[in-house]
Amino acid sequence: MRRVLFIGLVLLAAFSALVWAGSAGLGPVLITREDEQKIVLFYGNPMLVTTEPGISLRLPLLTDVLTFDKRHLYLNTEPLLIPMRDQERIDVDTYVVWRIADPVAFYSAFRDGLPQAEALIDRIVGADLREVVGQRTLSEVVTTSRVEIMQEVTRKSDEELRPRGIAIDDVRINRTELPAATEKNVFARMRTERERLARKTRAEGEEEGRRVRAEADRESRVLVAEAERDAEIERGKGDAEAAHLYAEAYAIDPDFYGFVRNLEAYRKAMGPGTTLVLSPKSEFFRVLDSARERDGP
């Protein structure tokens, strides 16, 4: 029983040692983790490539193991001063998200490892960025075409680096700034342009205001003229109707009509506080005299 237990412990220790050796890249067992991809080299030449997690075997002592990161990697590129189509110059700072897509091609292209690869990525992405941004204007880079520019740079850089085992998944702009000397000139031009647009807008507004006022004045004159015309027509109709009524009244009883008209004349002539000095024989008192004659002394 003790012998069986001893053998079990020995086997367990041996297995643990193999696992440790495999994790460290030693021994016949090769363990690949989730975030790793490995190349087994036989006298410097790739013999086995493992890109999926698991366990595999190798020849110890005769082979070497190289481990590469399978995750996305981040590279902050050097800022660039780029001339654009509208003769402006702009400082562009970008970052690159990339990964090792083919470990064998990556190893063949970059024997010095990751720093050599990052230097090439920086150089190629920078060249593509200069080419793409140089075909645009400042307004397009800052606003309208920013996403399109990044997509084009990503595509071009990925096509150039794929043969070396590198996949460029994204290129993004961290910041864009104008050089200090250019910034003052740009702001001055922007201010001049805004002032020109403001003057133009004010002039158009004043012209529109004059047009609206002239149209309103014309319409008001037309309305007043039409109202006066209608008023004259109505007054004429009223005068005609009054004359007609007067004529009918006069035709019915001329004496009574004359009497009423005389009384109306008295009322208007002899208002409150009015003093008249007239001859008793004046025609003005004819109605009163006739009434006295009828009533007697």
Residue 88 is predicted with a pLDDT of 78
Q: Please name which of 75, 88, 71 lies closest in space to residue 188, comparing C-alpha atoms.
A: 88
What is the torsional sign of CA 199, 200, 204, 205?
negative
Contact 74, 95 (CB under 8 A): yes
Report residue 293 as tokens.
């004659």
What is the torsional sign of CA 86, 87, 90, 94?
positive
pLDDT in tens for each of the 297 residues of the chain? Answer: 656 565 655 555 545 555 555 455 555 677 778 888 988 888 778 888 888 887 776 666 667 888 889 999 999 988 888 888 877 788 888 999 999 999 999 999 998 889 999 999 999 999 999 999 888 887 888 777 888 989 999 999 999 999 999 999 999 988 877 766 666 676 777 788 888 889 989 999 988 888 899 999 889 988 988 898 889 898 888 888 887 777 777 777 676 677 777 777 767 666 666 676 666 666 666 655 555 444 444
Residue 146 is predicted with a pLDDT of 84
Does pTM surpass 0.75?
no
Collect contacts of 261-265 with beta carbons under 8 A, ≥24 apart: 262/286, 262/287, 263/287
First to last CA, the chain: 177
Distance CA 130, CA 157 (A): 12
Contact 68, 114 (CB under 8 A): no
Contact 70, 37 (CB under 8 A): yes
3-state SS, residue 223: helix
What is the torsional sign of CA 165, 168, 174, 176?
positive
Residue 22 is predicted with a pLDDT of 47
Half-sphere exposure of 41 (CA within 13 A, CB side): 11
DSSP-assigned beta bridge partners for residue 55? 31
Phi, psi (rounded to 5 degrees) for 167? -110, 125
Domains of the chain listed by start with CATH number: 2-69 (no CATH), 73-178 (3.30.479.30), 253-295 (no CATH)
